[in-house]
Structure formats: structure tokens, C-alpha cells
Structure 1
Amino acid sequence: MALKLIIGNKNYSSWSLRPWLALSALDIPFEEILVPLDAPDFKARIRERSPAGKVPVLIDGEATVWESIAILEHLAERFPDKGVWPSEPAARAHARSLATEMHNGFGALRSVAPMNLWRPVEPRAFPEAALKDVRRIMRRWNEARERFGAGGDFLYGAFSGADAMYAPVATRIRTYAIEVDPVSAAYVEAIHAHPAFVAWKEAALRETGVLPEDEVDWPTVKRV
């Protein structure tokens, strides 16, 4: 039975991007079900599958998995040969730690820089708390690349679940023209060049639904 992944708008839904990107990049077949975040019956439709009432939700036969980090762990168990996590134990432990840190943290950056793939690349001023998040993310990226990144352009060389978790941050860095160090800048480019991400973004740019809370220039909606 094919996996089913319920997601929200591709332009805005950073949490939906994470498992979608992992599934696509790691060649795990699945069916996509998109429920617009501003649909009047959004909560009702999602709660049919998830008690959290949020996207993403993975349906795997009789199993229902919500929360992006839990979906990645489920995929790692179901598809042990797909490389959801690095194979080397120290790298795998590090990747899981980074992914969980992303899941639980960096709220200051996320609150002032929502994912918005159709916004033109333009800088904006950020509070110190958000800049502190950026500096912490750069330290994590640099450490992963230095210790485990040989053999590829991603945090642990080959694309993994950790990259899926940090892909929305890479979009924020580009969208809001945030200055980062050379290692982090190269990593942001690698995420944007990945064919799976390119496919997601192309679909996002075709969307028309607008969420005012994710448009930092509101009431102006800037689109590339």
C-alpha cells in the first residue's frame, strides 16, 4: 500500500516541506494530498487523520504519523536502506540531535521570517534574538560539514533527514538575504539546487492562496 502524505500550501508550509523533501529526495514512493491551510474545513479534514489538527500527516496503512520528526523516524524504520539517517553511528547520532534541535528550537527566527518561496529576495531588519538563532544554526552546519560532510554537499555528505529538517531555514536565509558564512552559503545553494526542492518550489510558485500572517510585507504581497 502506497504511503500518503497530507501537506499544506507549498509556498508557506515549512513543516510540510520537511517530510515531502525527505520522501522525494530519498526515492520513497508516496501519494501527496494537499489541503490548503486557509480552507474553511482545514482543521476538520486534518483531524480526521491527526489529533493534532496540523500538517504534515503520514498515512502508512493502518499507521498514522504526525509531526515531521516522527515521520522521519518512521521512514527510517520502514526503509532502512534509504539513508534517512547517516549509516555511521556518530554521524547518525549527530544528525538526529541537529534534527531534533530544529524541531524544538529557533522560534525567534521562525516568527519573524516565515517561509515564503514566492517573495523576492529582499533583506529586512531582524531582532537580536533572530540573529542569535542564525549564528547558532551556522555553528551547527559548520560542525556537521567539518566532521561528517565529506563526500557530498549536504550536512552529512549525502542528503539525509537532517537536511530535510533544515531546508526551510535555507529558504529563509535566501528569501530575506541573511548574511551567512561561506560554508553555510554553500549549503543553502546545495539545498536550493536539489531536484526535489526545485520541484517543490516550482509547484509553490504556481499557487495562488495568500496567508496574510506569512506575508511580512502585508498588505503588499510581493511575488517573484
Structure 2
Amino acid sequence: MTTLYIANKHYSSWSLRPWVLMTQLGIPFDEQLHVFGEGSNWDAFRLFSPNGRVPCLHDGDSVVWDSLAIMEYLAERHAGVWPSESAARTWARCASAEMHAGFATLRNVCGMSCGVRVRLHEFNPALKADVARINELWNEGLSRFGGPFLAGDAFTAVDAFFAPVVFRVQTYDLPLQGAATAYVQRMLELPAMRQWYVDALAEPWRDRAHEAEVQQYGEVVEDLRVA
């Protein structure tokens, strides 16, 4: 049995990546959600994850941690994780690695909070640079490989890697241009993305650290989650 360990869907951008890929591609798995606790989650998450973080995939005797490693593990066992065409696959891996390792300001200032809408206090130069690079990447992929997804006509791992950014665009009203704008709406309408969003809105838990981070950088103007 394949089990994917994740955390709160409202906050956990790293969990979203393999979850949305496996769900959208129809790769069967059992979901195990562990709620973020106060302070460090290391001890609790170490019970199922070697690095004490989510996501973590258990597949029989194999334990795979880190979202990029999970994607590559799945690609060895399932078709469609990466594009079949060589140039598209190379680009998709590069873009995914850039997302995995970069965009620190976007992550820090615009933490994933699916169920709220936030007006930022400041749109600083570093954040502008991150958003501009996202816009450039998305428009490049959509133009070069013909869309409607980033590396061609099918949803693949590169779309999964940028799925948390799609929710950030919705939450923080981040400015995009060109085909990237329509791509956001297309992603939000995917069945897997819609299911994640519905689940996130229904979560009753609130993590004070995540909530404080959002309020540090902006004003919550709408909260769509259950009371």
C-alpha cells in the first residue's frame, strides 16, 4: 500500500505537490494528514518521516522524503509524471528544480494560506523579482510547448511543483501577464486542485505561527474557512 503523509492543506505547500500530482494522474494512495502542532513538529513527524517534515511517501518497504525525491520515485514507476518529449522533460525538470530551491522571498512573504485573501502591506523589490521570474517561466513554458500546461498538453510534475504558487496568486492577488494569467484559472479548475481547496476550507485547525506570518506581511481581507 502506498501512503502519502501530509500536513494541513490550508498551509502545507510542500504536501500539495505530490498530492496533486498523484491525485490528478490517478496514482492510488492512502492519505495520512498530520496537523501542525505548536512549536516544533520534529518529534511527531519523525515517527513517519526521516527528516521530520512533510511530505513523506511510504510504498511497501520504501520510505521517500522530500517532494522532489518523491516525484522522481513516482516517475520510475508511473507514466506521465514527466513529459515524454525530451526537450519538454528537460525544461520541466529545470523549472521544477528552480522552484524547489528558489523563490525565498515569495515563500516568506506570501506563505500558502488557501482559504484567505490577503492585501500585502508592501510589494517589495525582491518579491517583485520573484513574481516576475514566475511570470517569465510560465509564459516561456506555455509558449514553447504549446500549453495548456507548462510543458505541453498534459499535467505533469512541473505543474505540480508550481501548484502552491497558483494558490498564492489567488490569495495575494499577485500580478501576472500574458498566458500565465489564464494558466492560473486553468489550474484552479483542475479536479485535484479543487478537491484540495475544498478540503483546506473545511479544516477546523488554526496554526498560530502560520497565521502570524500572514499577518506580519499583510492584512486578511477575507477568510473563507469554516468558523
Give the TM-score normalised by the residue count of structure 1: 0.92
Match of residue 172 from structure 1: 168
State yes or no: 1:190 paired with 2:171. no
Alignment-mate amino acid for residue 108 of structure 1: T
Tell me, yes or no, if the aligned pair for 1:123 and 1:177 is still in contact at 8 Å. Answer: no
- Which structure 2 residues correspond to residues 37-56 of structure 1 after superposition, within 5 A? 37-38=36-37, 42-56=41-55
Aligned length: 219
| Contact persistence 1:112–1:126 (CA under 8 A) | no
Asked if residue 76 in structure 1 is aligned to residue 75 in structure 2, the reply is yes
Asked if 1:131 is matched to 2:128, the reply is yes
- Distance (Å, rounded) in 1 between the aligned partners of 2:49 and 2:200: 24
The answer to whether the Cα contact below 8 Å between 2:139 and 2:178 also exists between their aligned partners in 1 is no
Distance 1:38 1:211 in 2: 7
The one-letter code matched in structure 1 to 2:215 is D
Tell me, yes or no, if the aligned pair for 2:18 and 2:70 is still in contact at 8 Å. Answer: yes
Counterpart of 1:217?
A: 215
Which residue of 2 is the match for residue 104 of structure 1? Answer: 101
Residues of 2 paired with 1:102 and 1:110: CA distance? 10
Q: Is the 8 A contact 2:120 2:219 kept in 1?
A: no
C-alpha RMSD of matched pairs (Å): 1.9
Task: Give the one of 203, 207, 211 matched to 2:199.
Answer: 203
1-side partners of 2:184 and 2:121: how far apart? Answer: 18
Give the aligned residue type for 2:67: S
Q: Distance in 2 between matches of 1:122 and 1:173?
A: 12
TM-score between the two structures when normalised by the length of structure 2: 0.91
Amino acid at match of 1:26: L
1:106-125 maps to which residues of 2 (within 5 A)? 106-120=103-117, 122=119, 124-125=121-122
After superposition, what is the alpha-carbon deviation per residue over 1:169-217, rounded to whole angstroms, capped at 9, x for unaligned? Answer: 1111111111110311111111100000100110000012112333323
Shift of 1:37: 1.1
Give aligned-pair identity as a percent.
Answer: 43
Instruction: Report deviation, 1:124.
Output: 4.6
Alignment correspondent of 1:8: 7
1:40/1:126 Cα in 2 relative to 1: closer, same or farther (>3 Å)? closer
Counterparts in 2 of 1:39 and 1:63: CA distance versus 1, 3 Å: farther
Give unpaired runs (5+ residues) of structure 1.
Answer: none
Measure how far apart 1:68 and its partner are: 0.5
